[in-house]
Structure 1
Amino acid sequence: MTRSASPQTTGSTAEVPDVFGFTALARDARPEPPAHRDIIRTAGHELRTPLNGILGIVGVLRRQLDRPVDANRQRSHLDLIEANATALVQTIDDLLILGRYQPGQAVTLDESVHVREILRASAQSWRQTADERHLRLSLTDGPDAVVRSDPRLLRQILDRLVANAVRYTAEGAVELSVHPTTSEGSARIEIRDTGPGIPTSERARMFAPFVRGTAGTSDASASAGLGLTVVARLAALLRLTVDITDNHPLRGTCFTLTFDAPALAGRSA
């Protein structure tokens, strides 16, 4: 496959070349339903946006090669490259998951999963970001719940919900909790934040692809809007119910995951 020449950058944007032949692949691919075409078209835009940002910054750095080094300016450029690369990786990860796991697909739920361990791991992966934003990210004390599930898919769900809570919260706290219930030993997970909240009128559409909340922060706006789509897709496969409510009595949002399948006995602290 012949590679395109290096792009010419102007200002802060650049046209991304078709390095991997995606245009030809799309042209030769079998026809897709209109809904799929819309997703592919929007996904292409969401992938190009951070790539254009990265290439634009590279162009700026090239033009500054003969100038005295400004450490603060270079640090700012590197931060922008890292932010765009992170957004790109997250979008690709979300698209791969949506492509791999289809609605109604059979998933084996035969592993005993300690919910607090999975939730603690998700919290740990976002603790540094929370600290940098001066947010209190905590897992409340309480009993554990052991459920029949797929730990890898459950972790994917929790990672995205914790990420959303941290990104959308400008100040305050993100609180995670596990609540074993009396209904056949099932369990409930709550992820609460003190962010701007999600208006009731927007909640039903938040799980649609490429939808972003209108009350988001600048960090949240960098998201492609696929995280909650992945959450809804995987939750259905794991027989989880996802609810969005207000974080009473504080301002913010509470995401609740309820295991529809009975949990195993087990409530160790």
Structure 2
Amino acid sequence: MNRLFNRLFLVAITISLLLFVALWQWLQLNHEFSRNQIQQSLHQELAEHMAHINPLLSQGITSDAALKEAFHDFMLLGPSFEIYTLDPNGKVIAYDAKEEKIKNHRVDIRIIQQFLAGQNLPILGTDPRSKNTQKIFSASKLINGDGLHSGYLYVIIGGEDYDSWQALINAKNQPKIWGATIGFWGIFALLLFVMLLRYFTRPIHKLAHDLNALKSIPMTENLTLPERYRGSLEISQLSQHINHLLQEIQLQQQQVKRQQQAKHDFLLHLSHDLKTPLTALLGYIDTWLILPAAERDEALIQYAANSGQTLQQLLAQLLELAALENGQIHAQLQRVELADLLSHVAQTFAPRAKKLGVKLNFTNIKSTQILTDPQLMRRILNNLIDNALRYTPSGGEITIFTQQELTNGQYQQWLAVKDTGSGMHQHEVEALRQLSLSQTAVQQDKLTFDNNQALPQLGVGLAIVRQLLGLLKCKIEVQSQPGVGSEFKIELVMQS
């Protein structure tokens, strides 16, 4: 029953049957009404004429014994008439029938008075031979010799014999009528079904044709269905949903292409980062091997070891970035003392900074609690400070400090990492400034960026920072100028 053909067929048959029953009932009632109206109109004055021509009735006599012979003569009019005399209260007095046939011995006088008052025909009155049936009639007042109202002459039009013959004829003709009617309504139902099928399936055919035409259009073009399905609300809504899905698919395809291009650029950038320490490592080792044993300098081995450590660090960062992108790392927010967190970072980088001749300052650090994941925050700071040490020359300075700013009537706490290194280019700065936390991204623990352009590459370290900030739902502000230095400011979530 879920198939469209079956549903349409069922609807057509149901509608046809309902229309057939309603029309048949209306025709029957209308035919009976018209027949009664014609019959009663033709015989409206029948009772009056009968009372006038009969000497007994004309004298107002209503007794059964006196009128038996008169009733017998009146029945010569035909078996379709039944004649009764009534007293002024409607009680049946005389009739030409067996006693057992009389079921009602009183006729409703109000109906007779309506008839005599000339109200619109047909008017149905009491049938003395039936308790539940009403029939059309003719009636006349009977006036005796003293001018007094002695009763009524009451004539049923279409009596019991008439009904019997009519039922017999109807039973004979009924199969023909029903056969012709069913045949007509069968043809009507078939035509209705064809019209409904054509009407309901026309938008579906159009939709199928338009969808088939989309196969030949490249996905790079604007794929939309034409707005020509107004004949059906459901199909029109379906076309709108399909258009919405097509737009989503195109946007996702464009996003996938941008991501593929970004990954391609990232891999090129990464290959350069990996190639530099690997080349240095192999170069120092090759130099050490080709030198005579007496001339081999241990510094070459140390340089090679440093290059190996750099290569190892890049590979570790690459694995960490892959874990972040795969959603394998989650933030576990808790209360953390900021001073303790920075003290651990200082202990980690102080020896390296001293060896490189870079001054590492932790100034204006307030003792306060923040809401963060200490492990992830340390990774962020480690990457920022490591990046600063890598690009800050000997004699330079790296400063880590906190500051408070008033924005829109509320204080914001920031943690800044500022260096005097080589700085960043503008396109790299914009890559971090484009970092935004939309509502969807926050719910999914992911970051969203401007989809209209590919992100410039930031290096593995800053790429990790970008992902970790997304997990912690922290904002970052970057100020940098080539040859001057960079400043990274991270907004802290304070623990109230």
TM-score, with normalisation over the residues of structure 2?
Answer: 0.38
Secondary structure at 1:240 match in 2: coil
Matches within 5 A, 1:62-211: 62-64=289-291, 66-70=292-296, 73-75=297-299, 77-102=300-325, 107-170=330-393, 171-179=395-403, 187-200=413-426, 202-205=428-431, 210-211=457-458
Structure 2, unpaired ranges of 5+: 1-258, 434-454
Relative contact order, higher structure (CA 8 A, sep 6+): 1
Contact in 1 for aligned 2:400/2:415 (Cα 8 Å): yes
Which deviates the most, 101-110 or 153-162? Answer: 101-110
Name the aligned partner's letter for residue 238 of structure 1. L
Contact in 2 for aligned 1:165/1:193 (Cα 8 Å): yes
Contact in 1 for aligned 2:428/2:457 (Cα 8 Å): no
State the structure with more CA Rg: 2
1:146–1:179 Cα change, 3 Å: farther
Structure 1, unpaired ranges of 5+: 1-31, 212-224
1:41–1:240 Cα change, 3 Å: same
CA shift, 1:81, in A, is 0.9
**Distance in 1 separating the partners of 2:461 and 2:418:** 17
CA shift, 1:79, in A, is 3.1
**Distance in 2 separating the partners of 1:81 and 1:181:** 46
**Distance in 1 separating the partners of 2:336 and 2:314:** 27
CA shift, 1:137, in A, is 0.8
The CA RMSD measured in Å over matched residues stands at: 3.2
CA shift, 1:200, in A, is 4.0
Q: Deviations over 1:57-102 (max 9, x none)?
A: 32332333x53145xx321x12321231122122112211111112
Correspondence 1:227 to 2:461 = yes
**Distance in 2 separating the partners of 1:139 and 1:240:** 21
Contact in 1 for aligned 2:478/2:487 (Cα 8 Å): yes
1:115–1:172 Cα change, 3 Å: same
Match of 1:222 in 2: none
Which deviates the most, 55-64 or 79-88? Answer: 55-64
Q: Deviations over 1:145-204 (max 9, x none)?
A: 312211111111101111122222223321111236678886310111222433545411
Match of 2:486 in 1: 253
What is the total number of aligned residue pairs between the two structures? 212
Contact in 2 for aligned 1:112/1:264 (Cα 8 Å): yes
CA shift, 1:39, in A, is 3.9
CA shift, 1:142, in A, is 3.6
**Distance in 2 separating the partners of 1:182 and 1:88:** 43
**Distance in 1 separating the partners of 2:412 and 2:367:** 11
Name the aligned partner's letter for residue 177 of structure 1. F
Identity %: 24
Secondary structure at 1:107 match in 2: coil
TM-score, with normalisation over the residues of structure 1?
Answer: 0.66
Contact in 2 for aligned 1:123/1:162 (Cα 8 Å): no
**Distance in 2 separating the partners of 1:202 and 1:36:** 16
**Distance in 2 separating the partners of 1:113 and 1:180:** 18
**Distance in 2 separating the partners of 1:90 and 1:140:** 28
Secondary structure at 1:137 match in 2: strand
Contact in 2 for aligned 1:147/1:186 (Cα 8 Å): no
**Structure with more helix by fraction:** 2
Q: Deviations over 1:31-76 (max 9, x none)?
A: x955445544654554344334323332332333x53145xx321x
